[in-house]
Structure 1
Amino acid sequence: LEEYRERFCSLSAYVKDIKQRFSCFYNKRKKRKGTLWGERFKSVIVEQGNTLVHCLAYIDLNAVRAGIVKRPEDYRWCSIGYHIQTGNKDGFLSSDLGTPDFGVDDAATQLKTYREYLYHIGAIDKGGKAKISRKVLEEETTEGFEMNRLRRFQYRSRYFTDSGIIGSRAFVETQYEIFKDHFRSTREKIPKRVKGIEGMYSLKRLAED
Structure 2
Amino acid sequence: MDAILAQFFNLEIMAKALPLVLKGLGVTLLICAVVIPLGLAGGLLAALGSVSRNRALRWASIGFVDFFRALPPLVLLIFIYAGLPFAGLRLSPFAAVTIAFFLNNSAYFAEILRAGLLSVPRGQGEAARSTGMSATQTLAWVTLPQAVRNVLPDLLSNAVEIVKLTSLASVVSLGEMLHAAGLVRSITYNASPLMLAAGLYLVLLWPLIRVIGRFERRIAS
Q: Please give the range of the TM-score, normalised by the shorter of the 2 chains.
A: under 0.3
TM-score by length of 2: 0.24
More helix by share: 2
Query: Which structure's relative contact order is higher, taking Cα pairs within 8 Å and 6+ residues apart?
Result: 2
